[in-house]
Amino acid sequence: MSITRSSGVLLHPTSLPGPYGIGELGVHAHAFIDWLADAGQRYWQVMPLGPTGYGDSPYQAFSAFAGNPYLVSLDDLRAEGLLQASDFDVIPEFGTDRVDFGQQYIWRNQMLDRAFAHAETDLMSGEHPLTAEFGQFLSEEAGWLGDYALYTAIKATQGGLPWNAWPLPLRNREAAAMTQAQQNLARDLLRVSFQQFLFFRQWKVVRGYASSKGIAIIGDIPIFVAMDSSDAWARPEQFQFDDAGQPVAVAGVPPDYFSDTGQLWGNPLYRWEAMEADGFAWWIERFRGSLKLFDIIRIDHFRGFAAYWEIPFPAETAIHGRWVAAPGHALFQAIRDALPGVEIIAEDLGVVTPDVEALRDDFELPGMAVLQFAFGGGDFSVNAFLPDNLKENQVVYTGTHDNDTTRGWWVHAEESERHAYRVYTSSDPTEETFAWALTEMAFHSRSKLSVVPLQDLLNLNSEDRMNLPGTTGPQNWTWRYRAGALTPALAAQLRALTEQTGRLT
């Protein structure tokens, strides 16, 4: 597959509608794909699909390889007998436009535990219809699944504490402690593995349905893993940890558009020399795993592969960091050699220096442009995000998951930015019309791929943005669209624009 002139929509699956408080990989995912096809779209872009923890961010998952069991369709489990009608006798009162992740943590895990309990005896005896398929999954995903299941099970016995706060034998993965944990938690290991099996099985169906409708899926690889993750616990030699399991330094970005004090992400940093010594084996497996989920991989914070912002630990802000070079060229060559044909989009926003541009261009990776950034500064000749300055080998967005909605951006923009837009376009949009105007600008641009967040197509306000970077507010990552919002009229309008701009493929 190679990206040709086309377009798509950004929507995380948790934002799908549905009866159980969070988007799922069932009927509503299929309906969204149908709508995309009717609208002439070629791509569905999602965020990372890993299991989320504190803060609910998909960019801080418990595993770089696992899937989020919250997305498993419970009605699909009932349809194939893994859940029974009586399991639904007591259903919480769910909101329709926000995800309550705390509620999901309790109720949905109970439902998934019931699904496992119903199947457990027959799975163990080999008499369940899914036994062979489950066994194949266990074998194929053994490289990460055993560590993830053990990490998850131990974490539950430790009251949810992060791994570097566990008793030393467990924290340090001492052989006797690991053997004892595997014996004591054998049922929990199987249960966690079964949840992962259900997720990957349903996602495979969704992805296959999308393919049948001519829709490819773009998905994210965050450059860093969460501090509290099975990856960090299972591979401490690959990260900058001290002997107590504490990070020596952590990741973030310096002060920028989003924050005067930068962003202190807190992710552990890699020991790149150790990764390079084994041929970047972990990264190659990470990409290989992502290709089981996505057709195209967007790398979040691509600039960190050229140089990353190293913040001494502990720190209260990201101000007192430094740039440190990373072996990006060697890494991407290793990935290309191991996985020829892998398609990558480089999220090259932020502080883009010549070394970042060289890394991107040497591998001919499309970068990104965000039109909400196009009208600051006042100099039309130098702003790289203005349509006249965009490149063909680029993906253009009205905004991303970290931006305000486009309607909200217009409402809160500086008057100088609004004036720059009016001068550039010789138009004077209203709050009601601006989001569609910017969508038209994205589609008419020379960039070969245009992607628009669904919030912009629905012309939603700031309260419907997906994330406010640098915060852990209760609104982050929780937005959902309501059933019925995706009308045939909107599909027809988007299809007409797609055809008019030569993006209907």
Active-site residue set: 300, 347, 402
Angle (deg, nearest 10), helices 175-184 and 186-212: 80
Q: Report how far apart, in Å, the C-alpha atoms of 338 and of each of 282, 288, 365 are.
A: 12, 9, 17
Which has the closest alpha carbon to 17: 8, 5, 28?
28
Which residue's entry shows tokens 């919480």?
A: 92
Strand partners, 239: 270
> How far from each other are the two terminal CA atoms of the chain, in whole angstroms?
13
For residue 479, give the DSSP letter.
B
Q: Which amino acid is at 279?
A: G
Cβ atoms of residues 426 and 480 within 8 Å: no
Cβ atoms of residues 366 and 345 within 8 Å: yes
What is the separation of C-alpha 6 from the centre of its chain, rounded to a whole number of angstroms?
Answer: 21
Report the distance separating Cα 495 and Cα 32, nearest Å: 15
Q: Report how far apart, in Å, the C-alpha atoms of 453 and of each of 11, 402, 403, 481 are.
A: 6, 11, 10, 12
Report the distance separating Cα 461 and Cα 459, nearest Å: 7
Report the distance separating Cα 145 and Cα 137, nearest Å: 9
Cβ atoms of residues 171 and 234 within 8 Å: no
Q: Which two tokens stand for residue 391?
A: 């490149």
Cβ atoms of residues 259 and 199 within 8 Å: no
Kindly state the helix (H) or strand (E) to which residue 179 belongs, with its residue range: helix 175-184
Cα Rg for the chain, rounded, in angstroms? Answer: 23
Task: Report CA torsion sign: 398, 400, 401, 402.
Answer: negative
Report the distance separating Cα 170 and Cα 181, nearest Å: 9
Report the distance separating Cα 32 and Cα 365, nearest Å: 28
Cβ atoms of residues 339 and 322 within 8 Å: no
Which has the closest alpha carbon to 446: 368, 491, 377, 391?
391
Cβ atoms of residues 466 and 11 within 8 Å: no
The per-residue DSSP string of 127-160 comes to -STTHHHHHHHHHHTHHHHHHHHHHHHHHHHTTT
